[in-house]
Structure 1
Amino acid sequence: MLNCLVIGSGVAGLSTALSLRKAGHSATVFEAHNGPSDGVGAFLTLAVNGFDALDTLGLKEQAAQLGFSTPLMSMYLGSTGRHLIDFDFGGTLPDGTTARTMTRSELYTLLREEALRRGIRIEHGRRLIKVEELPDGVTAVFDDGTSARGDLLVGADGLRSAVRPLIDPASPAPRTIPLLNTGGIIPANTAALALKDVDLGVSPGRMKMVFGKRCFYCYMPSPDGRIWWFANPLQRSSADPALLGQEELKSWLTGLVAGDRTPVAALIRATEDIIKPYSTFDFPSVPRWHSGKMVLVGDAAHAASPSSGQGASMAIEDAVTLGRALRGATSDDKEASLAARFAAYEAERRPRAETVVAWGRRNSEPKVRNQFTRVLQDLAMRAIFRGLARKAADNFDWLYGHHIDWDAVPEFADR
């Protein structure tokens, strides 16, 4: 059995700890923030490949109770209200599971509570500053003066990872995508009163995505009467919208969508707590995912644009693949054996991860519009989306149909 130190208690870190536990190892999760992040963060859509990976961890049925089913999406032009195309968002697993939209907090809480139930310790207020590699393991040193000893260390600490530069001091900085992210959830009672005369033009379970004149956005009603929406305004070099108060933020956002033939301006006005706009990044490629007794998972290794819709799903896939690679490992194994296991994990995950990052980048590009390109793009989009729809199943099976066989024999087994 290995004693594993996991840095970061987000989706990647908690999933990894659960996977390591399934592989027969002990895991302790160290989080820089001082407490759990219940109620923190926006919302996400977990794709069916993410649910398939959660099934390996024994959590698919519980996760399928979170949020609401969103298996469909429709694309529109904001300038004319014209319908472009409908898409099946990833298909359906054999048991009927579809993609589901949920708050990040809901997924986090499920993973955290299950980790604790399975005997995984989570320590808060432990910000990593240094890792000392020893012949028989690693020591993680934290900014509060404490330290922890383990056989290996997993960097699951996201885009701004503290572990990544320890593995490779020359690792690249995140790459900027010139889009901001914001949004909100309108409670059912507010929606019933403030939006009673508003025609959303979409039923629960379907995302309505709009290429607006000045901003890309999406909204969807849930079966319980809430309305969920997000927007991707262009990131400008002028004043930071994150510094705006709620009323100023509403005014700015409604100004961006004022010329569109959609009800999104009313949705913005009805939202009590709009998420402060934040920047978008990705990683084209991280040269090294592991070194010695340290390894990366999730956004620390391969952050994709939110336009991929795959951040959480890819993190869970990483966790399952790493846990499988470490099955049967013991603290008596030589460093070369551990390196072979890390290399097998990376060899399996890197091609898929980098393909998803590139795909997410391409998905972001049509959202980066200005008045000089918008009219031409609008003219071309209907033809483009029709072509995509005709071969959608072939295009997306590589993404949503991915399955990790936990019982498969790792490639390094004969080494």
Structure 2
Amino acid sequence: MAEILTSNGLAQRSELPILIIGSGSTGLALAQGLRKVGIKCTIFEKQPDQARERDWNMGLHWGAPVLKSLVPDEKWARLQSVQVDPHVPTKDLDTLTFLHGATGQPLTAFQLGPFYRLRRSKLRELMSEGLDIQYNKHLSNITYAEDGQSVTAYFSDGTSATGRLLVGADGARSTTRRLLLGPEQAAIRRLPYAATFVHMKFSREKALFLRKFHPLYLATAHPENRFGFFGMQYAEKEDDPTTWTFFYYISWHCSLEEQDATMNWTNRQRLAQQKEFAKSFCDPWKSAYEWAPDDAPVWYMGLTEWDPGAEGHKWDNHGGMITMVGDAVHPMTYQRGQGLNHSITDAGQLRDVIVQLKEGGNQKELITKFEEEMIGRSGEEVRGSSTNTGMLHDWEKVMESPVFTKGLNKNQES
């Protein structure tokens, strides 16, 4: 456990743990990487337990080698078990096809690989194993020792923990970011796009029909300025299609005024809107929405971003005692599938820095250098992903969007 310190007992800096705020994929990956090299750390998570209300899936591709370097070999060997279909081995090279949303004809296709499609909940379960995670810990304040040797996190339950370095890995609406920059500069930027997500099981006949389009994932751009994704969320039993859960959505240009006006819509209203959109779509979207019961549970999200390279967004790392990683630094739109890859890269690079700190490196210099690279790399991606999202919802510009011109490759300049 993290050392809870009083004024009478300050540990030597080299003996202090690394404090990680947030037990999402990034924080867990960093903690696994530190555990692998024998550096003690504790994760503080605001949720009461590991369970999350919502689950989704994420694409891991160019960031995969970094994750492999962070986790023990036995965990990497089990990565197949957390994929959306654990029964389908990951291909060395796979094809992602974009369909014309109205006709179903291919617009483009590009190859990539290996491409891992991971269930967030199962990835977190795997990555949580063997770690010291304290739940129900709401970060309320951070202080820094006058001698520059330690940082202390305070929680709403009255407890505190002191460490050599505090890492904010607490997601897109990061409390760490708010404490560093203030509520105005730390506020996430709302974008005029929204999506409603569906998780759904079907009868054997319908499930087999829907899956024939692609076993794992498929995307579409529609002339009515809409974008769609369709894929597997969890194929529980390989030989029983009734156990397969599909994940799909249609996103659209949705002004902030419309988002505010519809903020209290019910699930039924959200799904009814999606069903109306889907009437002009090709399959599998058209049938999947038609077959979904009107009262099916859904979840809605307005798209957002936070650009770490924007004016006023550079935080003070207090002599290298505090930094941030993952969505706490670079929440981005998801149509180009880059978020997890950048977040895992953050974790891998910070692990390397912390190893250098253990060996006596200058903390301020190393953390500042780490942040400069991360901000440059991920800031470019935040901006590019938002540009891509805008183009995917503008039929006249669809074929010029980064996802069509570059696929899911890492930014070439980074």
Normalising by structure 2, report the TM-score: 0.79
Single out whichever of 226-235 and 164-173 deviates more from structure 2: 164-173
| Cα distance change, pair 240–103 in 1 and its aligned pair in 2 (3 A) | farther
Gaps of 5+ in 1: 93-97, 403-415
Counterpart of 1:95 in structure 2 is: none
Give distance in 2, aligned partners of 1:253 and 1:24. 49
Q: How much does 1:308 deviate?
A: 3.0
Deviation at 1:289, TM superposition (A): 6.8
User: Structure 1 residues 158 and 41 mapped into 2: Cα distance closer, same or farther (>3 Å)?
Assistant: same
Shift of residue 347, structure 1, vs aligned partner: 2.9
Cα separation, 1, equivalents of 2:196 and 2:373? 34
Question: What whole-Å deviation, never above 9, does each CA across 1:138-193 have from its counterpart, x for those lacking one?
Answer: 22111111111212211111111111133333734222222223323333xx2424
Cα offset for 1:100?
A: 2.2
Per-residue CA distance 1:224-259 (angstroms, 9 max, x = gap): 443332221332423665644443332221112222
Query: 1:49 Cα shift?
Result: 2.0
Which residue is equivalent to 1:7? 21
Residues 171-222 of structure 1: per-residue CA shift (max 9 Å, x gap): 34222222223323333xx2424456x5666231442323252531111357
- Name the structure 1 match of 2:168: 155
The aligned counterpart of 1:41 is 54
Matched, 1:146 2:159: yes
Of 320, 324, 331, which aligns to 2:348?
320
Number of equivalences: 370
In 2: Cα distance, 1:400 partner to 1:121 partner: 37
Is 2:298 the counterpart of 1:287? no
State the distance in 2 between where 1:165 and 1:249 align: 31
The residue type paired with residue 64 of structure 2 is F
Q: 1:130 corresponds to which residue?
A: 141
Is residue 3–residue 151 contact of structure 1 (8 Å, CA) maintained in 2? yes
Distance 2:398 2:356 in 1: 51
- Please state if 1:27 is matched with 2:48: no
Q: Return the alpha-carbon distance in structure 2 between the equivalents of residues 160 and 265 of structure 1.
A: 34
Task: Work out whether residues 84 and 381 of structure 1, in 8 Å CA contact, stay in contact via their aligned partners in 2.
Answer: no
Q: Which amino acid aligns with 1:229?
A: Y
**Aligned 8 A contact 2:221 2:393 in 1:** no
1:21-49 residue CA offsets vs partner (Å, 9 max, x unmatched)? 234321111111111125x4332232222
Moved more, 3-12 or 258-267: 258-267
Partner of 1:410: none
Contact 2:21 2:45 in 1 (8 A): yes
Q: 1:215, 1:257 within 8 Å by CA — same for their partners in 2?
A: no
Partner of 1:266: 287
Contact 1:18–1:57 under 8 Å retained in 2: yes
| Cα distance change, pair 133–205 in 1 and its aligned pair in 2 (3 A) | same
Does structure 1 conserve the Cα–Cα contact (< 8 Å) formed by 2:225 and 2:393? Answer: no
The secondary structure found in structure 2 opposite 1:291 is: coil
Q: Which runs of 5+ in 2 are unaligned?
A: 1-13
Relative to the length of structure 1, the TM-score reads 0.79
Counterpart CA distance in 1 for 2:403 and 2:105 is 17
Which position in structure 1 is the counterpart of 2:9?
none
Give the equivalent residue in structure 2 for 1:231: 250
Q: CA RMSD in A?
A: 3.1
Aligned to 1:257: 278
Residue identity opposite 1:26 in structure 2: K
Structure 1 segment 6-405 matched on structure 2, within 5 A: 6-37=20-51, 40-58=53-71, 59-67=75-83, 68=85, 69=90, 71-88=94-111, 91-92=112-113, 98-113=114-129, 117=130, 120-134=131-145, 135=147, 136-169=149-182, 171-187=185-201, 190-194=202-206, 198=209, 202-211=213-222, 213=224, 215-220=226-231, 224=238, 225=241, 226=244, 227-236=246-255, 237-238=257-258, 243-271=264-292, 273-284=296-307, 285=309, 286-288=313-315, 290-292=317-319, 293-330=321-358, 337-369=362-394, 374=395, 377=396, 381=398, 384=400, 392=406, 397-399=409-411
Greater CA drift, 273-282 or 210-219 = 210-219
Relative contact order (C-alpha < 8 Å, sep 6+): which is higher?
1
1:101-144 CA deviation, whole Å, 9 max, x = no partner? 2321111111112xxx2xx3111111011011113312211111
CA distance in 1, matches of 2:126, 2:219: 28
2-structure distance, mates of 1:121, 1:231: 39
CA distance in 2, matches of 1:21, 1:200: 40
8 Å CA contact retained: 1:137, 1:149: yes
Once the two structures are overlaid, the 10-residue window that deviates more, 271-280 or 135-144, is 271-280
8 Å contact kept, 1:298–1:318: yes
Shift of the 23–291 alpha-carbon distance from structure 1 to 2, 3 Å rule, reads farther
Distance in 2 (CA, whole Å) between partners of 1:12 and 1:289 is 21
Partners of 1:30 and 1:240 in 2: how far apart? 36
| Letter aligned with residue 352 of structure 1 | R
Equivalent residue letter for 1:46: G
SS at 1:339 equivalent? helix
Contact 1:184-1:230 at 8 Å conserved across structures: yes
